[in-house]
Structure 1
């Protein structure tokens, strides 16, 4: 398959027409799949109403069919066409965080979207992205667009168009290049179908920010339960993983360096993901400074880029420091936990 590639300025002007966006929208209307930028990561979009189109997303990604997709919209009228009702707490969240990196789960209106989008569930996950190119594409196509991250399933999510091309060139109809993304981790997913909203996936909007708008919310205790049918993307399967085994190392830098030394003495090529506060301490084959622990947004922004950089270095093993789980730190650690396949190493005594 030939993959069309277009470049467009991130700050599109609504009063102007853009042939790149028009061509991408035309492909969506033909039930083809197109990658496009959002404020979180690049999405792999298709007509959410079409079984044929949505099936192409799963085929391109190699994604399990029981993993539901998020539908991207540009207006509340599109939402009203898809959902049975809009709970009051969901409306408050929409008013405050849309457009933005928050996905809300609603009871769906039967027949409004492909059953492949919802994996047969009676709910649908919806968000309004805060990216001019994404919104322009949705408006131009006049479609609700189902879009997971634009990478091969299980691999680190793409934060640049080149990441998409590395994974999916020849597998999708088009890639709309709007530059690098902003947040760096996917949207927060919150289920608003019950009495108390439940965060199913931490992301670009923190639990603390949500609670400032609607008071108490719960975090789903089953996030790591691999036996459950997922209600949200990111609740099942190993995700975001680099090629080399990744281990989360919780302990002091001196202790972690002993682990590094042990693996290098075995002839292995070792990578380390560290904070700015400790990166200079380590001696390894590749050390990536992911940002300051005092600026978790910086770490979130660089996370997937770092995981892909490790792949390019062809390492044998990777260690990552752990980060505070406050604010967006919860999303960072959720992604790292999945990328590692839940493989943690914890220091039991001072070195």
Structure 2
């Protein structure tokens, strides 16, 4: 399959951009899969109502069929087409954060979306992305669009069109290049079918932001506990991971350096991921800075790019510092824990200075 490629800017209705959006939307109408930018990461989208179309998403990604997808909409009228029994907390969150990096779980309207989208559940995950190209594509296609991240399943999510090309060139019908994404990590997922609502996946909207609007929300135990069964899209399997095994390391810089030295003396090529404040202090084969502890939003924006930086570098093992969990830091640590398969090495008390 030859993958079509369109480059657009935020002026999606311009003489340059609009015909490209129309061409991409025509492929959606023909039940093809097309990658497109959102404010979080690039998504791989297809007509949410079509089994044929949605199956192409799973095939291109190599995604397990029991892993549900998020449906992307451009209007509140489209929500009414696919969801029922919308709660008051959900209404408040929608009108505060949509368009934006927040996915809400609703009871689905029977027959409104493919069962492949919901993995047979009676609920559906929905969000309204805050990106002009995404909204224009959804509107022009005339369909709510099911879309997970546009990467091979398990790999770091794509934050540029080049990442999508690296993973899916020849496997999807088209890629809309709208430039780098802004948030850099996926949307927060909140189940609004229960009381209190439950955060199933931390993301671009923090728990503190949500509670400021609707009061107390719970958190799915699977966010922190690898043994618990997750309920959110994209949370069930190893995800966000580079090719080399990744380990979180929680300790002082000098202790982490000793771990690196031990692996290098054993003949392994070592990668190190760290925030900008400490990255230059490490002596490893490949050192990749990732944002700043003082600016978690910047760390989130650069996280997947940093993880992808280790590809083709021949590293045998990657260590990553832990990041503060406040605000969007919860999403950063969630993605790192998933990428590391919850492997974390903590500095023993006896080694602490």
The answer to whether the 8 Å contact 1:40/1:186 transfers is yes
- Name the counterpart of 1:350: 352
Structure 2 length-normalised TM: 0.97
- Name the counterpart of 2:328: 328
- Name the counterpart of 1:75: 75
Which deviates more, 259-268 or 8-17?
A: 8-17
- Name the counterpart of 2:84: 84
Q: CA deviation at 1:230?
A: 4.5
Q: Distance in 2 between matches of 1:24 and 1:230?
A: 33
Deviation per CA, 1:226-281: give whole Å up to 9, x if none: 67664321321100000001000000000000000001111111111111221121
- Name the counterpart of 1:110: 110
Which secondary structure does the structure 1 equivalent of 2:193 belong to?
A: coil
- Equivalent positions of 1:264-303 (< 5 A) are 264-303=264-303
Question: Structure 1 residues 224 and 115, CA, compared in 2 at 3 Å: closer, same or farther?
Answer: farther
Gaps of 5+ in 1: none
Gaps of 5+ in 2: none
- Name the counterpart of 2:146: 146
Q: Alignment length, in residue pairs?
A: 351
RMSD: 1.4
- Equivalent positions of 1:33-48 (< 5 A) are 33-48=33-48
Q: Distance in 2 between matches of 1:136 and 1:49?
A: 19
The answer to whether the 8 Å contact 1:199/1:218 transfers is yes
The answer to whether the 8 Å contact 1:47/1:145 transfers is yes
Question: Structure 1 residues 229 and 113, CA, compared in 2 at 3 Å: closer, same or farther?
Answer: farther
Which secondary structure does the structure 2 equivalent of 1:264 belong to?
A: helix
Question: Structure 1 residues 100 and 290, CA, compared in 2 at 3 Å: closer, same or farther?
Answer: same
Question: Structure 1 residues 272 and 229, CA, compared in 2 at 3 Å: closer, same or farther?
Answer: closer
- Name the counterpart of 1:168: 168
Structure 1 length-normalised TM: 0.97
The answer to whether the 8 Å contact 1:268/1:317 transfers is yes
Which secondary structure does the structure 2 equivalent of 1:71 belong to?
A: strand
Which secondary structure does the structure 2 equivalent of 1:310 belong to?
A: coil
Q: Distance in 2 between matches of 1:131 and 1:96?
A: 16
Which deviates more, 129-138 or 220-229?
A: 220-229
- Equivalent positions of 1:176-255 (< 5 A) are 176-223=176-223, 230-255=230-255
Q: Distance in 1 between matches of 2:252 and 2:226?
A: 30
Q: CA deviation at 1:209?
A: 0.3
Question: Structure 1 residues 15 and 23, CA, compared in 2 at 3 Å: closer, same or farther?
Answer: closer
